[in-house]
Each structure stands twice: as structure tokens, then as C-alpha cells.
Amino acid sequence: MPKVDLDAVLSGEGEKEKEEEEEEELKEEEDGGELVQEEEKDTGVVKLDVYKSYWLAVGNCLSPLVLFSLLLMKGNKADNTRK
């Protein structure tokens, strides 16, 4: 069992702590009470900065190879549809 300070209970110190907690909860509710903000999303065309960040993340050597392989796959698919 948890220890209870009888003097604190009789003097009403526990009530002060409860009141302080309730005040903090009220402040959070007034502020919206949310710890996480709503995410914003853009619609439409992908910005050039996004492609640039992907290019830099993959690296300057591997990025042209990936782009070239995508072009080859697209060309191969177009060639197969003609037959």
C-alpha cells in the first residue's frame, strides 16, 4: 500500500495539488489540448525540390542509372504494345 502523509491530508495540501492539476487540464483544453498539429498536404504537381531531394538521397552515381533503367523499361513496354 502507498504511504499516506496524514498531516498533509488533514491540512488540505492534497486538495491544492488536485486544484493545480485541474487548472493545468483546463489550460490544455483552452489551448486546443492537442499535442500534435494537423498535417498539411499539397495537391497537384510534384515540386522540383522533391525530385532534387530524392536525387541527392540516392546519390549522383546511382540516380542517372535508375533514370536510364526507367526509360528503358518504358521504351520496352511501348515496343511490346506494337506487336
Segment 25-44, tens digit of pLDDT: 766 655 555 667 788 887 88
19: domain range?
1-32
- pLDDT, residue 20, reads 77
Counted domains in the chain: 2
Q: Is residue 60 assigned to a domain?
A: yes
Indicate if 1 and 28 belong to the same structural domain: yes
- pLDDT, residue 28, reads 62
Residue 53 has φ and ψ, to the nearest 5°, of: -65, -35
pTM: 0.38
Report d(CA 14, CA 18) in Å as an integer: 6
Q: In 3D, which of 50, 55, 53, 76 has the Cα closest to residue 66?
A: 55
Report d(CA 81, CA 83) in Å as an integer: 6
Q: Is residue 8 assigned to a domain?
A: yes
Cβ contacts of 58 within 8 Å, gap of 6 or more: 66
Q: Is residue 39 assigned to a domain?
A: no
Between residues 49 and 81, the one the model is more confident about: 49
Digit-coded pLDDT (tens) for 48-74 = 999 899 999 999 889 999 889 999 998
